[in-house]
Amino acid sequence: MDWTDKKIGEALRRSAEQWPDRDFVVGMDERVTYREFDERVDRLATGLLGLGVTRGDHVACWLTNEPDWILTWLACCRIGATVVSINTRYKTQEVEFILRQSDAKLLVAMPRYWEIDYLAMIEEMVPGFERSTPGALQCENLPELRGIVLWKDEQHPGTVSLQSLWAGEADRAALDAAAATLETEDPVVIIYTSGTTGIPKGAMHCHRVLLEGRDIAKALHMEAGDNVLCHLPLYHVAGSVATVMPAMQHGATIVTMDQWEPAAAIDLIERERINIMGGIPTHFIDMLSVPGVENRDTHCLKSAWIGGAPVTPKLARQAKDILNFDALQAVYGLTETMGGTTLSEFEAPIEVTCENKGKPIGEFEVKVVRNEAGEAAPVGEDGEIWVRGYTVMLGYYKNEEATREAINRDGWFKTGDLGHYDADGYLKITGRAKEMFIVGGSNAYPAEIERYLETHPKVGQAVVCGAPHERLGEVCFAFIMPKEGERVEAGEIVDFCRGQIADYKVPRHVEIVDDFPRTSTNKIQRYILQRDVRDRFSV
């Protein structure tokens, strides 16, 4: 089928007609078929229209991996609204920035979850929201926000429950009228990524994510009736675009995990007969550490993609031999390129996976360049990786300057990552041009963390880098130079961060220094600090 002019709402409808009684989403306490989910999407879309949400509006989704996340996204897609995905590990100041910068009109959230009081954070961001009327909320800090929706059937003053919004009948005429206005280039999701500036940027993607889903599914040998494990966060491009879209288009079942727990994952694989999954090396290390895993029935596993950090030969072979995958495929991608850019083939030897090699998975261009002029690097020569085509984002929301820096006039997106093509046509990822480091699959940006650390009253300057970690790949290491005349302890720095920024950004190691190595022009020599940390913590 040609997906180039299709919208996501149409794709779900087509799948519901083709596989009406097949499970689409399996949650902790419910199983929903394609037909039931499609009907529920219609009803929620009608409820959102009733709250004043229309084409072009932004709905922030601060939920864990539950059917409600997928329901909210697809209902927004059906009426032309855009979901703003929010990391469930973010704290008040991070969420408030995203809500403000994205012009979110509605916030769909959990009141509390896993001992985290989200409602308290909402009260901090939106004082007195309990006295408001849903749809008519007024907040000075968040001028575009008009309402708060709590998931499932949760009740709280000043909010409306998500379940109540889809409890009524679908207004077919209103939905048809909304659908008639949609364009394939309309944004459907905004996913935030920080980058080297430390200021989060919202990458916008449109209905073209359907094309990406088609390509990923084909590469993973996904078929109708397959069961796909969705443990990767739906707020992340790997959960939403790389899991939901391919499964929905191909009649597969999405089995959600609300929290990563390796023993529970093995249980789900056995019980639900999981065929396909993806993850970072940490996920596979965790599953292999489950007692007795070698005796569990995981022969249902067909394929898995693995990325976000280098894969060791030992891990790759154990994943295939003990977890019984037919294929373990190395993936490379970014938020700005919808998560999947290159992937090793299903039949590729394990050595290809271990070397982090892959080939473009769709009809778009990926090249390695020598310079800003875009001169292609020859085979075997490292350069920056550039991508052009439908997989590239529309741009960063309300940030034209950052968009121009990232995407040149010819449409090439500059990834900031390094690699080269080999003689067999594989793209091998060799490093990062950026300063970003990856903590258990989550991108951490030094500039963002440094900006926060330097708000501490005793901190003069901070330098952050990644330190090697056996399970998580990397963790945060912070060098702190106190203000003149001040003394600060490492424990104070950690306490200052806990509960205020996402846990993966909190420094695991803190070193207090008198100064940093500098150039003759007083510029900090980060590479010296990074080299020192890697020498000390090399795994």
Q: Is the pLDDT of residue 154 over 80?
A: yes
Q: Is the pLDDT of residue 538 over 80?
A: no
The reported pLDDT for the residue numbered 523 is 65
3-state helix, strand, coil in the chain (%, to 5): 35, 25, 45
| Contact residues for 235 (Cβ-Cβ < 8 A; gap 6+) | 61, 63, 69, 85, 86, 87, 88, 191
Of 141-150, 170-179, 438-447, minimum mean pLDDT range: 438-447
Q: Where are the domains of the chain?
A: 8-203, 260-432, 437-537
Residue pair 388/410 in contact (Cβ under 8 Å)? The answer is yes
Residue pair 75/44 in contact (Cβ under 8 Å)? The answer is yes
Give tens-digit pLDDT for 44-94.
Answer: 999 999 999 999 999 999 999 999 999 999 999 999 999 999 999 999 999
Token reading at 200: 């989060």
Residue pair 330/219 in contact (Cβ under 8 Å)? The answer is no
Could you tell me what percent of the chain has a pLDDT over 90? 80
Per the DSSP assignment, residues forming a β-bridge with 465 are 477
Q: Can you identify the CATH homologous superfamily of domain 437-537? A: ANL, C-terminal domain (3.30.300.30)
C-alpha 358/C-alpha 429 separation (Å) is 9
Give tens-digit pLDDT for 390-399.
Answer: 999 999 999 9
C-alpha 453/C-alpha 460 separation (Å) is 9
**Domains 260-432 and 437-537 agree in fold:** no
C-alpha 508/C-alpha 494 separation (Å) is 8
Mean pLDDT of 193-201: 72
Q: What is the pTM of this model?
A: 0.87
Q: Candidates 3.40.50.12780, 3.40.50.720, 3.30.2130.10, 3.50.50.60; correct CATH number of 8-203?
A: 3.40.50.12780
Could you tell me what percent of the chain has a pLDDT over 70? 97
Q: Is the pLDDT of residue 388 over 90?
A: yes
The reported pLDDT for the residue numbered 355 is 85
Strand, coil or helix: 174? helix
Mean pLDDT of 218-243: 95
The reported pLDDT for the residue numbered 195 is 57
Radius of gyration of the chain, Cα coordinates, nearest whole angstrom: 23
The reported pLDDT for the residue numbered 114 is 85
Q: 70-93 burial string, b = 16+ CB within 10 Å, else e?
A: bbbbbbbbbbbbbbbbbbbebbbe
The reported pLDDT for the residue numbered 312 is 82
Q: Which residue has the tokens 């090399």?
A: 538
Residue pair 277/319 in contact (Cβ under 8 Å)? The answer is no
Mean pLDDT of the chain: 93
Give tens-digit pLDDT for 29-54.
Answer: 999 999 999 999 999 999 999 999 99
The vertex-172 CA angle with 243 and 205, nearest 5°, equals 30
Residue type, 219: A
Q: Which residue has the tokens 């050595």?
A: 351
CA atoms within 13 A on the CB side of 463: 21
Q: Is the pLDDT of residue 128 over 60?
A: yes
Give tens-digit pLDDT for 288-338.
Answer: 999 999 999 999 999 999 988 778 888 889 999 999 999 999 999 999 999
Residue pair 449/464 in contact (Cβ under 8 Å)? The answer is yes
Per CATH, is 260-432 categorized as 3.40.50.12780? yes
